[in-house]
Chain A
Amino acid sequence: MTDATAPDGTRGRGAGGARGHGAEPEGLPDYVRGGRDGLGEAELAELERTWQSPPGFLAWFTHVNHTNIGRRFIITSLVFFALAGLLALAMRLQLAQPLNDVLGPEAYNQVMTVHGTAMMFLFAIPAMEGAAIYLAPLMVGARDMAFPRLNAFGYYVYLIGGTVFFLSLPFGLAPDAGWFNYVPLSSKEFSAGYGIDVWTTMITFIEVSALTAAVELIVTILKLRAPGMSLDRMPIFVWAVLVMSFMILFAMPSVIVASALLMMDRLVDTAFFDAALGGSPLLWQHLFWFFGHPEVYIILVPALGIVTSIVVTFTRRSVFGYAALVLAIVGIGMVSFGLWVHHMYTTGLPLMGRSFFMAASAMIAIPSGVQVYCWIATMWGARVRFATPMLFVLGFFAIFIAGGLTGVMVASVPFDRQVHDSYFVVAHFHYVLVGGSVFPLLAGLYYWFPKATGRMMSERAGRWSCGLVFVGFNLAFFPMHQLGLEGMPRRVYTYLPETGWTLLNQLATAGSAILALGFAITLANAALSLRRGAPAGDDPWDGPTLEWATTSPPLNCNFARQAVVQSGNPVWDRRRAEVSAHVGGLRTDRRETIVTTVLDARPHAVQVLPGPTPWPFVSALVASAAFLGLIFTPWAYVLGFFAAFVTFVLWFWPRRPWRED
C-alpha cells in the first residue's frame, strides 16, 4: 500500500504559481509538469481532472470539494462579520450621546438582536467550521471530507438561512428580543410580529448546517487520516476541531429543541413557556444556556488550535506538553457543559445549587492556564519570528487572558449579581470572544491565506491592522467595565445625561471606529493580495503540518499521493530526511481516499467519494422554503417534510452496480 520515493523536485511552484481553481482547459496545467510526490505527469493530470470542480456559473452549485466549500464558508462568514460589525457601529453611534436619536428604541433593539445573533450564529461558528472544513482534511492528509455532498448541503443551508435572517432587518421584520431571546418577551403576547418567528426558524435551520459540519468533521478526522498519523501525532488544531465537533453535536440539539418549542408556542399555542398555563419561563433559560455556554467554547476551542499551530511554526519548535494541551482542550469541552447556570445567578435559584456552578465555572481556569503556560514554555528562549500572524497571537494573549480573568470574577455569585446584565459583562464577553476568537481567526487568515490563494498578504498592512485592532478594541471595550460598575445595564437604547456615563461611552465609540478601521485594513489587504500579493510557494512559513506539503493553492486532489506520517511534524521530517513515504496504488480515474483505523491510523480500506452533484443544493433550497413557510403557517412543516424527502431520495439514488464507478 505504501512506498518510499525521493522528495519531489517540484515543491514551490514559484512565481506565477498562483492559479484559479478548477478552470483548467484541456492542456496540461503548469503545476503538473514533471509530476509530484513520485506521481508521473500524465497520472497527476488525470487525477486533477477527476477531482476538478467544473467551471461555470451553474456548475458552481454542484461543487463538493472541501476546499471550495470551506472557502465559501469563510468568505460568507466574513461578509456577515462585516455587516454585523456595521450594526455595532450604528449602536455605538447611538450611545455616543445621552438621549441620542440616531436609532429609536425599536430600531436599536432590532440592530442589537441581529448584531448578537449574527456574530454568534452567522459569523463565529461558521467561520470556525469553514476553517476546519478547509484545513482539517489537508492537515490529516486526506483528499476530501468523508461526506462531500453533505458538506455542500450544509453550506447552502447556512447561506440561505443566514441571508434570510439578515434580510429581515431592511424589511423591518427583524427579531428584537436579544440574541438569547428570553421568553415571555419573545412570546406571541409580547412580540406579535414575524420577527421572533424569523429568529426561531432561521436559527434552527442554520444549526442544521453546524450539525452536518460536525458529523463529517468527526468522521473525516477519525477515519480519513493519512497512514501513520495515530491520534497522538494529530496536529493540535485537528484535536481542537474534533472537540469542537463533538461539542456542536451535544450542544446544538438543545437550542434546536428550545427554539422548536418556542416555535410551537407561537404557532400552535402549546404553552411550554407560559407560566399562567403551567409552563416555565426558566425552562427556556436552561435549554438556551445549556447550548449557549458551550457555544462560547465551540468558537474558542478551534481558536486555541489556531494559536498552537502558529506558535509552533513561528518558534520553529514542536509544542511543549502535547498531551497536556490535548487534555486541556478535551477538558474545556467537557467542563463547558457544566457551567450554564452561571448565566442565571440572578433568577433566584437556591444559593447551594449556584455554588456548584460557581466552582465549575472557575475550574475552566485550569485547562486555560495549562494551555497558556504550555505556549509560554514553548516560546521561552525560542527564536520567535514576529510576523503578522504571531503579532495577532500576542494580541490574543493579552486580550484573552484579561477576558478570562474577568470571567473568573463573574463566576463569583455575589459579584456577578452586581455586574450581571451590565456593561461589565458586555466588556467581559467581548474580551473573551474577540480576544479568544477573532484575534486567532485573523492570525489564521494571515497564516493560511498563502496556502489557500498562493499569494502572501501584505506584511506592512498586517502590522497596521493588528496595531489598530488592538488599540481600538481596548479603547472600545475597556471603559465598558467601568460603565457596568457605575450601573449601566446592557441593551439600553439610550441613557440619561445625569448618570455620568457620557464620557466613557464616547471613548468606547471612538475606540469602535479605530477597531473598524483595523478590520477594514485586513479585509482590503486580503482582497488586494488575491491578485497582487507576492507568490507564496508551497511552504512560506516553514510549517510542520501536512497542508504545507502540497501546492498553494492545494491541488484539486489535495495531494498527488497521500503521505505516510512518521511523527507529529511530517513536513519538518520530510525536510530533514532524504526520503519521504507516500501511499501508492490509488486509482486516478475516480475520487479515492484512503481509510485508516481510528487509533493508530493503519490503512484498511479505500473510500470512493462522490463527484459534483446539484442535489444538495436542491435539497437545501426545498428545506429553506419549508422553514421560511413555517414563519407563516405550521402546514409548511408537513409540505416541506415530503418535498425534502423527495429530494433526498434523488440525492441518495443508488449508483448502478454494473457501472464502473
Chain B
Amino acid sequence: MRVCRLAAVASAFALAGCDGAGGVLAPASPDARLVASLGWWMFASAIFVLIVTLGLVLVGANLHRRGEPRRISFRASVLLVVAGGVAAPLLAIVAVAISGVVIGDEVEGPGGADGPWIEVRGELWWWEFRYLDEDGEVVAVTANELHLPVGRRARLRLVSDNVIHSFWAPNLQGKTDLIPGKVNLLYAEPETPGTWRGQCAEFCGLQHGLMGFVVVAEPPGDFARWLAAQAEPHRVTEPEGLAVFDRIGCAECHTVRGTSADGEDGPDLTHLASRQTLAAATIPNSRGNLGGWITSTHTIKPGAKMPSRIPEPEDLHALLDFLESLE
C-alpha cells in the first residue's frame, strides 16, 4: 500500500488516492468480501492439490533410483486413480457448485436494495451515469464518476445502444455486461467511504483500454447533498466562455443544463468542475489537462470520438474559465 501511494504521488497522472489498488483482493463491499474469501479458499485448495499431484509425479518417477523398478499392485493403482482422479475432483465439484450457487445468489440478489436507482450507459468510450427517482425519471446526469451512498445497496441498470461493454468495479462487485437490446441489473453496496477505480472489461474497440471510471462512496448525507447539487442546472457566470463553447462546436455534442447547449453525443458537462478526472478517468481534472484535452485530444486518446479544437489563446482561456465555472 505504501509503495503504491508513493508511486501515485510520484506520478504526474496521480488520481485522488490509491484506494483502488488491490482490486478483487481489497474488497470494500459485503459482496466483494464474500467472493474474495471464496477465491482465497479455492486458491489454497488448488495449491494443495497441485503440490500433492506434482509430488506424486516426481516421487513416483524417481523411486527406481532406490532399487529395482517395480510396478505397484493393480489394487493400489486402482485405489490411486479412484482417490486422486475421481474422489478428489468430485469433492471439488460439489464444493464449487454449492458455494457457487449460494454465494452467487447472495451477491447477485437484490438483498433488500434500498439505495438509489442509477442507469449506467456504456458509450464509445466513456460512461454515463443517470440518477433516477423511484418513477424512473432522470434526476441528474454525470459521466465517468459514480457516487454511491455508504451502507446502501444501490441498483444499477446496465444498458448500451452501441457495442457490448462490461461494468467492473472490482473492489465492490463482480462485472456484468451492458448488451444492446438488453437491460442487466447489478447491485453495489460500499461499506466504507472511499474512492476506487473501475474499468470496462469487455473489449469494445479502440479506446477500450482507457475506458475507466471512478467510484466515490460517501456517507448518505454527503451523497444526498452531492446529488441535489448535481440536479441543479448551471447558472451562467462566464458568458464569454459560453459563447466560445457554442462557437467552436462543443454544444453540438455536450449538454450544459441551464444553457442552450443540449448535444447528446458526449458527456453531460453541467457539473464538470466537480469531477476528479477527465477523459474517462484517464487524466486528473485540472485547468492544464482540460486545455490539453481540448486542443490535443488524440494525443491523449488516439481514436477518441471527440474532435480536437484549437481556439485563439484568449478564446481558450475564456473557454477554460467557463468550464471551470461548471461546479
Verify if B60 is at the interface (C-beta below 8 Å from A): yes
Verify if A10 is at the interface (C-beta below 8 Å from B): no
Contact pick for A106, options B64, B71, B181, B303, CB 8 Å? B303
Q: How far is the CA of A490 from the CA of B209 in the complex (A)?
A: 9
Residues of B close to A409: CB separation below 8 A: 39, 42-43, 46
Task: Given A276-B180, A365-B93, A497-B13, check contact A379 B42 (CB 8 Å).
Answer: no
Residues of B close to A651: CB separation below 8 A: none
Q: How far is the CA of A104 from the CA of B304 in the complex (A)?
A: 12
A376 and B174 contacting across the interface, CB-CB below 8 Å:
no
Task: Given A362-B96, A412-B96, A486-B22, check contact A421 B202 (CB 8 Å).
Answer: yes
Q: How far is the CA of A346 from the CA of B182 in the complex (A)?
A: 13
| 19 examples of A-B residue contacts, CB within 8 angstroms | A109-B205, A184-B180, A185-B163, A282-B179, A321-B78, A324-B81, A370-B81, A380-B60, A381-B64, A382-B64, A394-B61, A422-B168, A486-B22, A486-B23, A489-B168, A489-B208, A496-B282, A498-B8, A500-B7
Verify if A607 is at the interface (C-beta below 8 Å from B): no
Verify if B306 is at the interface (C-beta below 8 Å from A): no
A-B contact count (CB 8 A): 292
Digitize A463-497: 1 where CB-to-B-CB distance is under 8 Å, 0 elsewhere: 00000000000000000000011110111111111
Digitize A127-145: 1 where CB-to-B-CB distance is under 8 Å, 0 elsewhere: 0000000000000000000
Task: Given A105-B303, A358-B97, check contact A184 B162 (CB 8 Å).
Answer: yes
Digitize A359-376: 1 where CB-to-B-CB distance is under 8 Å, 0 elsewhere: 100110110111111111
B303 and A177 contacting across the interface, CB-CB below 8 Å:
no
Q: How far is the CA of A412 from the CA of B40 in the complex (A)?
A: 13
Contact pick for A500, options B21, B34, B108, B170, CB 8 Å? B21
Digitize B17-58: 1 where CB-to-A-CB distance is under 8 Å, 0 elsewhere: 010111111000000101100110011001001100110111
B146 to chain A, nearest CB (A): 15
Which range holds the interface residue count of chain A? 35 or more
Contact pick for B61, options A371, A382, A489, A500, CB 8 Å? A382
Residues of A close to B22: CB separation below 8 A: 486
Digitize A196-234: 1 where CB-to-B-CB distance is under 8 Å, 0 elsewhere: 000000000000000000000000000000000000000
Residues of B close to A408: CB separation below 8 A: 42, 46, 92, 96
A498 and B209 contacting across the interface, CB-CB below 8 Å:
no
Q: How far is the CA of A157 from the CA of B46 in the complex (A)?
A: 43
Residue in chain B with minimal CB distance to A314: B61
Verify if B192 is at the interface (C-beta below 8 Å from A): no
A420 and B181 contacting across the interface, CB-CB below 8 Å:
no
Q: Known pairs A351-B101, A487-B20. 5 more at Cβ < 8 A?
A: A359-B93, A401-B49, A405-B46, A409-B39, A412-B100
Contact pick for A104, options B49, B158, B182, B302, CB 8 Å? B302
B296 to chain A, nearest CB (A): 14
Residue in chain A with minimal CB distance to B58: A394
Verify if A377 is at the interface (C-beta below 8 Å from B): yes
Verify if A549 is at the interface (C-beta below 8 Å from B): no
A366 and B89 contacting across the interface, CB-CB below 8 Å:
yes
CB-contacts of B90-111 with A (<8 A)? 90, 92-93, 96-97, 99-101, 103-105, 107-108
Verify if A652 is at the interface (C-beta below 8 Å from B): no
Task: Given A366-B86, A486-B25, check contact A376 B80 (CB 8 Å).
Answer: yes
Residues of B close to A182: CB separation below 8 A: 163-164, 202-203
Digitize A541-572: 1 where CB-to-B-CB distance is under 8 Å, 0 elsewhere: 00000000000000000000000000000000
Verify if A419 is at the interface (C-beta below 8 Å from B): yes
Residue in chain A with minimal CB distance to B16: A498
A346 and B164 contacting across the interface, CB-CB below 8 Å:
no
Residues of B close to A493: CB separation below 8 A: 208-209
Q: How far is the CA of A222 from the CA of B282 in the complex (A)?
A: 60
**The 10 A-B residue pairs with the shortest CB-CB distance in the complex, in nearest-first order:** A275-B181, A417-B174, A487-B23, A492-B209, A370-B85, A348-B184, A365-B89, A405-B46, A369-B85, A373-B85
Verify if B132 is at the interface (C-beta below 8 Å from A): no
Residues of A close to B64: CB separation below 8 A: 381-384
Verify if B177 is at the interface (C-beta below 8 Å from A): yes
Residues of A close to B154: CB separation below 8 A: none
Residues of A close to B90: CB separation below 8 A: 366
B120 to chain A, nearest CB (A): 13
Looking at B105, B175, B184, the one whose CB has the most chain A CB atoms below 10 A away is: B175
A394 and B174 contacting across the interface, CB-CB below 8 Å:
no
Using a CB–CB cutoff of 8 Å, the interface residues on chain A facing chain B are 104-106, 108-109, 177-178, 182, 184-185, 190, 275-276, 280-282, 317, 320-321, 324, 346-348, 351, 354-355, 358-359, 362-363, 365-366, 368-377, 379-384, 394, 397-398, 401-402, 405-406, 408-409, 411-422, 484-487, 489-500, 502
Residue in chain A with minimal CB distance to B174: A417
Residues of B close to A280: CB separation below 8 A: 181
Residues of A close to B206: CB separation below 8 A: 105-106, 109
B61 and A384 contacting across the interface, CB-CB below 8 Å:
yes
Q: How far is the CA of A418 from the CA of B72 in the complex (A)?
A: 44
A415 and B282 contacting across the interface, CB-CB below 8 Å:
no
B205 and A190 contacting across the interface, CB-CB below 8 Å:
yes
Task: Given A408-B92, A493-B209, check contact A347 B105 (CB 8 Å).
Answer: no
Task: Given A421-B166, A500-B4, check contact A282 B61 (CB 8 Å).
Answer: no
Task: Given A182-B164, A317-B71, A496-B282, check contact A417 B84 (CB 8 Å).
Answer: no
Verify if B294 is at the interface (C-beta below 8 Å from A): no
Residue in chain A with minimal CB distance to B34: A414
B263 to chain A, nearest CB (A): 20
B177 and A177 contacting across the interface, CB-CB below 8 Å:
no
Contact pick for A363, options B53, B93, B163, CB 8 Å? B93
Residues of B close to A177: CB separation below 8 A: 203, 205
Residues of A close to B285: CB separation below 8 A: none
Task: Given A105-B206, A185-B163, A498-B15, check contact A406 B46 (CB 8 Å).
Answer: yes
